[in-house]
Amino acid sequence: MTPAKTQGHYINPVIALLTEIKEDNGPDFGKVHSFCEELHQGISELGGTFYVFSLKGFSDEGVEGFYYDDDEWKKGSLPFPNVIYNRVSSRRTEYSKGFKGFLNKLDSLGIKIFNHRFLSKWDIHEFLMKEEHLHPFIPETHLYTEQLLASMIAQHEELYIKPVHGSQGRNIIQLSRENSLFHASLSSLPAKDLPAFSSIAELTRAISPIVKKQLCIIQKGIQLSELNGRRMDFRVLCHKNAQHFWKVTSIVARVSAEQYFVSNIARGGEVMKPIQTLSLIFGKEQARQQLALMKELALETAEAIGQHAEGLTAELGIDIGIDIKGNLWLIEANSKPSKNFEERGTKIRPSTKAIIEHCYGLCQP
pLDDT one-digit tens code per residue, 189-220: 556 677 888 889 998 898 888 888 789 999 99
**How far is the CA of 282 from the CAs of 286, 317, 324, in angstroms?**
6, 24, 10
* pLDDT tier at 180, thresholds 50, 70, 90: confident
Q: Is 246 in the same domain as 105?
A: no
Does the structure show a pLDDT above 50 at 66?
yes
Q: Is 126 in the same domain as 249?
A: yes
Which range is least confidently modeled, 102-106, 135-139, 248-252, 336-340?
336-340
Beta strand 315-322 with 230-240 is antiparallel
pLDDT one-digit tens code per residue, 263-290: 444 445 678 899 998 998 889 999 999 9
* pLDDT tier at 327, thresholds 50, 70, 90: very high
Q: Is 128 in the same domain as 255?
A: yes
pTM, two decimals, is 0.89
Does the structure show a pLDDT above 80 at 109?
yes
Does the structure show a pLDDT above 90 at 119?
yes
Peptide bond connecting 190 to the previous residue in cis, omega within 30 degrees of 0: yes
Note whether 304 and 128 are within 8 A (CB): yes
Residue 191 is predicted with a pLDDT of: 60
Q: Residue 83 — φ and ψ, nearest 5°? A: -140, 140
CA-nearest of 112, 364, 358 to 241 is 358
Angle at 247 between CA 245 and CA 252, to 5 degrees: 160
Look at residue 24 and tell me if it is in a domain: yes
Q: Mean pLDDT score of the chain, rounded to an integer? A: 88
59/42 Cα distance (integer angstroms): 27
Residue 3 is predicted with a pLDDT of: 39
Residue at a domain's end among 166, 197, 220 = 220
Look at residue 269 and tell me if it is in a domain: yes
Percent with pLDDT over 90 in the chain: 64
**Range(s) of the domain holding residue 161:** 141-220
Q: Is 211 in the same domain as 299?
A: no
Residue 343 is predicted with a pLDDT of: 58
Q: Is 203 in the same domain as 82?
A: no
Q: Is 234 in the same domain as 167?
A: no
Burial of 20 (0-12, 13-18, 19+ CB in 10 A): middle
